């Protein structure tokens, strides 16, 4: 009886080890894919960067830029970078994560990074991104992050974060705002969102 019990325990331990190793491998592959995508986006953005003088000249017309002027070839609009967390992720246009292979999606019909209004981003709940997107929950008030796009880099500072029931989250941007605000929605569980509010510096 003891031998049978020992064999069962050994089998269970072996299964646990296999599951842990497989999970680690999948996470590493997903992180590698994200890193490669971010590198490609950074290269594309660097090639299209304009000088600070030109950025200053176009600052007043930034709000008139169309979405097409932000989009890269793979439907990405830019990169979210959080230096404090050593975190970088690509931002895709749209939040249909079954079709958009991005860690973060820009909610359609909301302001674009740097524009006046509320820029709404949603973190993917897809299993391959869930662990890394949850890192953003450690952001605190006054922490900053950068969004890099074809039209420049935009630094935002965190104002606050809170847990909000899913049914209370409004997925539209506010109009007639005098400044650029940014909201990141992270769906940590089925019933609620972690909402991070930030403003453009």
The pLDDT assigned to 155 comes to 94
The pLDDT assigned to 24 comes to 58
Residue with tokens 């509320």: 118
The pLDDT assigned to 126 comes to 64
| DSSP codes of every residue in 44-113 | HHHHH---HHHHHHHGGGGGG--GGGT--TTSEEEEEEEGGGTEEEEEEESS-TTT---SEEEPTTSPPT
Model confidence, pTM: 0.66
Question: In the beta sheet, which residues pair with residue 190?
Answer: none
CATH code for the structural domain at 2-200 = 2.40.260.10
Q: pLDDT tens per residue, the chain (201 residues)?
A: 777 878 787 788 777 777 766 665 555 555 566 666 667 666 666 655 544 544 444 444 444 455 455 555 567 788 889 999 888 888 888 777 665 556 788 888 888 888 888 888 888 766 566 666 778 888 899 999 999 887 788 999 999 988 888 777 766 556 556 788 888 888 767 788 888 899 998
The span from the CA of 85 to the CA of 158, in Å, is 14
The pLDDT assigned to 142 comes to 93
CB 89 within 8 A of CB 34: yes
β-pairing, 144-149 vs 117-123, is: unpaired
The pLDDT assigned to 159 comes to 93
Centroid of chain to Cα 72: 16
CB 89 within 8 A of CB 148: no
Question: In the beta sheet, which residues pair with residue 91?
Answer: 78, 104
The pLDDT assigned to 180 comes to 81
The pLDDT assigned to 32 comes to 63
């Amino acid at each position: 009886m003891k031998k049978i019990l020992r064999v069962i325990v050994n089998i269970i331990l072996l299964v646990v080890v296999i599951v842990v190793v497989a999970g680690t491998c999948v996470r590493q592959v997903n992180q590698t894919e994200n890193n490669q995508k971010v590198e490609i986006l950074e290269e594309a953005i660097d090639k299209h960067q304009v000088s600070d003088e030109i950025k200053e000249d176009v600052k007043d017309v930034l709000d008139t830029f169309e979405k097409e002027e932000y989009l890269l070839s793979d439907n990405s609009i830019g990169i979210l970078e959080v230096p404090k967390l050593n975190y970088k992720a690509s931002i895709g246009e749209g939040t249909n994560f079954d079709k958009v292979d991005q860690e973060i999606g820009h909610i359609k019909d909301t302001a674009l990074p740097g524009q006046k209004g509320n820029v709404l981003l949603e973190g993917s709940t897809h299993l391959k991104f869930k662990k890394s997107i949850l890192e953003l929950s450690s952001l605190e008030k006054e922490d900053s992050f950068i969004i890099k796009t074809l039209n420049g880099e935009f630094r935002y500072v965190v104002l606050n974060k809170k847990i909000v029931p899913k049914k209370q989250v409004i997925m539209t941007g506010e109009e007639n705002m005098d400044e650029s605000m940014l909201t990141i929605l992270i769906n940590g569980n089925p019933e609620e969102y972690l909402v991070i509010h930030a403003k453009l510096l």
